[in-house]
Amino acid sequence: MTVVVALPRPSASLQLGSLTVDPPVVLAPMAGVTNAAFRTLCREQGAARGASERSGPRGTSGLGSERGAERDHEQGAARGASERSGPRGTSGLGSERGAERDPKQGSGLYVCEMITSRGLVEKDETTQRMLVFDPGEAVRSVQLYGVDPVYVGEATRILCGEYGVAHVDLNFGCPVPKVTRRGGGAVLPWKRALLDAILRSAVSAAEPYGVPVTMKTRKGIDDDHLTFLEAGRIAEDAGCAAIALHARTAAQHYSGVADWPAIAELAAHVGIPVLGNGDIWEAADAVRMVRETGCAGVVVGRGCLGRPWLFRDLAAAFGEVADPPPLPTLGEVAAMMRRHVELLAGYIGEDRGCREFRKHVAWYLKGFAVGSRTRAALALVSTLAELDELLAELDAGQPFPVGELGQPRGRQGSPRHVTMPAGWLDDRDGLGQDLAAAELGVSGG
Ligand SMILES: Cc1cc2nc3c(=O)[nH]c(=O)nc-3n(C[C@H](O)[C@H](O)[C@H](O)COP(=O)(O)O)c2cc1C
């Protein structure tokens, strides 16, 4: 069944429990991408437009969201402060700095890359290093992975109580074989009772802190084993504040086109907000997704790779700004690249920051006329000084390659067989299942 809801105009904000997200735009959790530096860059862009929006009629909701965020944040910071004297003090670096509120807190919600529940509970160092937040990140949002209700509950408590996190998202959409072959990620919602138990555990752990819990999932395992409608009801009954749907099956991976009518179907099926996800390449796509599906907000992933200013465009589009912001020239993109590396260097040092940045180079330069020698050198950059020299070689006035607009970017891939534990499809309950091997101890990757 396909349900298409035509809305006169998209709602200006999204309500996740006590948290107002305005505009209703979420940066998708992306492993290896949405670290503190990238989130900051996107947030700065979102705020660049969001700030001017607030002087108009929509100012009230914008201000409301800021106040709400501030209040939530203060609660989080106070909790963090009282518990930071232990060994967690170091990993809570972000928590301490987070106590100051930066006026640059952007509109929208910016989710940290995925953290494993077991890694957090067992104090795995890599996991703790990933839990760093920018001082301006007033609303800390983290995605958790887990298959064991006990680990997920305890990890949620740690995030809310010790890291001042204001939003927890649970990952049930990961399609990679190392996760699905153990029964985790996108294949887990097949086990209805287990899904319910995990969600309830997280919701009850977050509840004393007033923190909303959301789940992110795919349509299902494959076209013959769809789970999203049932998962939506389970999430609603368990007390989740919203459900995000990447409108592909696990078997599709990133291939084909996202099935937006499935988002509409879910929005008509549940009483909690639905966040639509999949194939938003431009701000206009996001507005169109909301209009066509009736979803309450959007989750944007690959479209912002090498294009953090998409969040400025999204804020403008949802703010109904008549003239979209101008597209950046190559010089402006170069400035964005510089800022990205600078932020990375601030968190992980110049050497690691430069290395980490290398994978972003091709995304930033996609479609621009830049010589292969410069591209190759940028993709091997090791120091900020070297970066500056190379960026100075670029033709700063070169206009944005408009042919790139609306084009897919990042992973595409092709459909794949979904690997699952033996007999996985035979039972829909899952509570007796031994999933110890699926409880990943290390985050990242
Ligand atoms: C590099 C990369 C890493 C990702 N990591 C995660 C992750 O850790 N958790 C998650 O729920 N989704 C992850 N995703 C999926 C995205 O959050 C999003 O659902 C997907 O890319 C579809 O949205 P898009 O079409 O806007 O990119 C990842 C996607 C990419 C491209």
Do 26 and 65 share a domain, yes or no? yes
What local confidence, expressed as pLDDT, does residue 320 receive? 75
Residue 336 lies in a domain: yes
CATH assignment of the domain containing 345:
1.10.1200.80
Do 37 and 117 share a domain, yes or no? yes
Read off the pLDDT of each residue in 362-375 and give the average, rounded to a whole number.
97
pLDDT in tens, 277-293: 999 999 999 999 999 99
> What tokens were used for 163?
């890291």
Beta bridge partners of 167: 141
CB 159 within 8 A of CB 146: no
| CA triple 183-300-395, angle to 5 deg | 130
Q: Specify the residue with its C-alpha closest to ligand 1, atom 29.
A: 30
The residue with greater pLDDT, 98 or 358, is 358
Residue 6 lies in a domain: no
pLDDT in tens, 108-125: 999 999 999 999 999 999
Do 203 and 312 share a domain, yes or no? yes
Read off the pLDDT of each residue in 39-50 and give the average, rounded to a whole number.
86
Q: Residue 375 belongs to what H/E stretch?
A: helix 372-378
Q: How far is the CA of 39 from the centre of ligand 1 (A)?
A: 14
Which of 395, 411, 428 is at the close of a domain?
Answer: 395
Band of pLDDT at residue 250, cut at 50, 70 and 90: very high
Do 248 and 336 share a domain, yes or no? no
Residue 404 lies in a domain: no
Tokens 């049932």 map to which residue? 230
Residues 430, 188: Cα–Cα separation, whole Å: 9
Q: Residue 280 belongs to what H/E stretch?
A: none
CB 375 within 8 A of CB 362: yes
Report whether pLDDT(105) > 80: no
The answer to whether the CB of 253 is under 6 A from ligand 1 is no
Q: How many CB atoms lie within 10 A of CB 177?
A: 14
CATH assignment of the domain containing 293:
3.20.20.70
Q: How far is the CA of 4 from the centre of ligand 1 (A)?
A: 25
> What tokens were used for 303?
């479209």
Q: Specify the residue with its C-alpha closest to ligand 1, atom 11.
A: 171
Residue 422 lies in a domain: no
Do 385 and 373 share a domain, yes or no? yes
The answer to whether the CB of 173 is under 6 A from ligand 1 is yes
Report whether pLDDT(63) > 80: no
Peptide bond into 408 cis (omega under 30): no
Residues 6+ apart with CB under 8 A from 174: 114, 145, 180, 184, 185, 186
Residue 428 lies in a domain: no
The answer to whether the CB of 180 is under 6 A from ligand 1 is no
Catalytic residue among 160, 174, 295, 304: 174
Q: How far is the CA of 251 from the centre of ligand 1 (A)?
A: 15
Beta bridge partners of 170: 144, 215
Do 203 and 255 share a domain, yes or no? yes
Helices 228-238 and 260-269: crossing angle, nearest 10°? 40
| CA triple 253-222-144, angle to 5 deg | 60
pLDDT in tens, 9-42: 566 789 999 999 999 999 999 999 999 999 999 9
Residue 429 lies in a domain: no
Instruction: For ligand 1, pick from 141, 214, 246, 412 the residue to mutate: most ligand atoms within 8 Å of CB.
Output: 246
Q: Is 174 a residue of the active site?
A: yes
Say how many domains are in the chain.
Answer: 2
What local confidence, expressed as pLDDT, does residue 49 receive? 54
Q: How far is the CA of 223 from the centre of ligand 1 (A)?
A: 20
Residues 332, 306: Cα–Cα separation, whole Å: 12
Exposed e or buried b per residue across 230-265, where buried means at least 16 C-beta atoms within 10 angstroms of its C-beta:
bbbbbbbebbbbbbbbbbbbbbbbbeeebbbebbbb
The answer to whether the CB of 415 is under 6 A from ligand 1 is no
Identify the burial level of 100 via C-beta atoms within 10 angstroms of its C-beta, where 0-12 means exposed, 13-18 middle and 19 or more buried.
exposed
Which of 374, 395, 416 is at the close of a domain?
Answer: 395
% of the chain at pLDDT higher than 70: 84
Exposed e or buried b per residue across 188-209, where buried means at least 16 C-beta atoms within 10 angstroms of its C-beta:
bbbbbebbbbbbbbbbbbbeeb
Do 286 and 386 share a domain, yes or no? no
Do 73 and 221 share a domain, yes or no? yes
Return the ligand 1 atom nearest residue 303 CA.
26
Which of 327, 352, 367 is at the close of a domain?
Answer: 327
Please report the DSSP string for 291-326 in residue order: HHH--SEEEE-GGGTT-TTHHHHHHHHHTT-SSPPP
Number of H helices, E strands in the chain: 18, 11
Residue 374 lies in a domain: yes
Do 336 and 212 share a domain, yes or no? no
Do 134 and 214 share a domain, yes or no? yes
Read off the pLDDT of each residue in 71-85 and give the average, rounded to a whole number.
31
Q: Which of 352, 212, 364 is nearest to 296 (CA)?
A: 212
Residues 159, 60: Cα–Cα separation, whole Å: 30
Sign of the alpha-carbon torsion through 357, 359, 363, 366: positive
Residues 6+ apart with CB under 8 A from 186: 172, 173, 174, 175, 179, 180, 217, 218, 220, 221, 249, 250, 418
pLDDT in tens, 292-319: 999 999 999 999 999 999 999 999 999 8
Instruction: For ligand 1, pick from 30, 35, 282, 288 the residue to mutate: most ligand atoms within 8 Å of CB.
Output: 30
Q: Specify the residue with its C-alpha closest to ligand 1, atom 6.
A: 30
Domain that holds residue 389: 330-395
Residues 135, 27: Cα–Cα separation, whole Å: 18
Q: How far is the CA of 443 from the centre of ligand 1 (A)?
A: 15
Q: How far is the CA of 30 from the centre of ligand 1 (A)?
A: 5
Do 200 and 256 share a domain, yes or no? yes
Residue 264 lies in a domain: yes
What local confidence, expressed as pLDDT, does residue 62 receive? 26
Identify the burial level of 87 via C-beta atoms within 10 angstroms of its C-beta, where 0-12 means exposed, 13-18 middle and 19 or more buried.
exposed
The answer to whether the CB of 246 is under 6 A from ligand 1 is yes
CB 182 within 8 A of CB 421: yes
What local confidence, expressed as pLDDT, does residue 291 receive? 97
Do 211 and 353 share a domain, yes or no? no
Helix (H, G, I), strand (E, B) or coil at 3: coil
Q: Which of 199, 214, 288, 280 is nearest to 14 (CA)?
A: 214
